[in-house]
Amino acid sequence: MPDSKIALATAAHPDDVEFMMAGTLALLADAGYECHIFTIGNGNCGTASHTHEEIIRIRGQEGHDAAAVIGATYHNGLVNDIEIFYEPELLRQVTAIVRQIQPEIVLTQSPQDYMEDHQNSCRLTVSACFTRGMRNWITHPWVEPTLQDVFLYHCQPYGCIGPLREQILPSIVVDVTDKIDVKEEMLRRHASQKEWLDVSQGKDAYLVAMREGCEIMGQMAPKPVKYGEGFRQHLHVGHSAKDEDRLSTVLGDRVQRL
Ligand SMILES: [Zn+2]
């Protein structure tokens, strides 16, 4: 099957992709990739004032607006926050979306992260990529299996630390210096979170935290860069016929191995 030139970033909540992976996704868009963002949760718990229905609608629209900054397509969340479980019905739905999109490069969250939603979204994404070609794995809705290679990468957990306080180091750092303003613009589109976090953490604290995280990643690169995003590549078995670091192939010198 020919290479698909389609990239998908998945995460638990609207704004997670923008926080941890959007610079790399923006670079892939520049490289000619059709880009998609899919959050498995709908963000319903990210509010101190809106009703359940209001915040789901608001955060869905924010997800679309943020994706539009780089010409990406946003796919709305399937379940409520904190209800993201590794279970068959949700995996059938996530697999249906992965089969519809047919991505070649998939960016997702870390298998170890401070929040169970993030870890479960990661597991669902990995399994959906694995089952994309299995005819007897029934998806909801039914979508024909696909057989393209998938190159799967995990972004860093929040604070580069796992839930047992273990340090998580990336194996590659992507230089996103040219895209840091685009990344910030995407994050700003999640205005409901800005309002909420400004009250609880101080004005624009989440934008500052995003930049600081990218500065720390940039410094980890063998040849340090101003802003970086760190990733670990998933083992290729079950996902691609050959063992290749497709992000490095596509993004060239912007990717440094640790
Ligand atoms: Zn999250």
Alpha carbon of 13 to ligand 1 centroid (Å): 5
Q: What pLDDT is recorded for position 92?
A: 98
ω into residue 141 within 30 of 0, thus cis? yes
Region 134-158: mean pLDDT is 97
Measuring CA to CA, how many Å separate 69 from each of 26, 56, 97, 162? 9, 20, 22, 31
pLDDT score, position 202: 77
DSSP state letter for 40: S
* pTM (two decimals): 0.96
Q: How far apart are CA 227 and CA 160, in angstroms?
A: 15
d(CA 118, ligand 1 centre) in Å: 6
Residue 20 CA, ligand 1 centroid: distance in Å: 10
Tell me what the mean pLDDT of segment 199-214 comes to: 87
Of the chain, the percentage scoring pLDDT greater than 70 comes to: 99
Region 52-81: what's the mean pLDDT?
A: 96
Q: How far is the CA of 116 from the centre of ligand 1 (A)?
A: 9
pLDDT in tens, 130-143: 999 999 999 999 99
Q: What top-level class would CATH report for the domain 6-257?
A: alpha beta
Phi (first) and psi of residue 236, to 5 degrees: -75, -15
- Ligand 1 centroid to Cα of residue 119, in Å, is 10
Distance 241 CA to ligand 1 centre (A): 32
Strand partners, 194: none
Out of 33-47, 68-82, 100-114, 192-206, pick the least confident. 192-206
* Spatial strand order in the sheet of 105-108: 73-75, 34-39, 6-11, 105-108, 151-155, 228-233, 172-175, 255-257
pLDDT at 214 over 90: yes
Domain segments of the chain: what residues?
6-257
Ion ligand 1 contact residues with beta carbon within 5 A: 12-13, 16
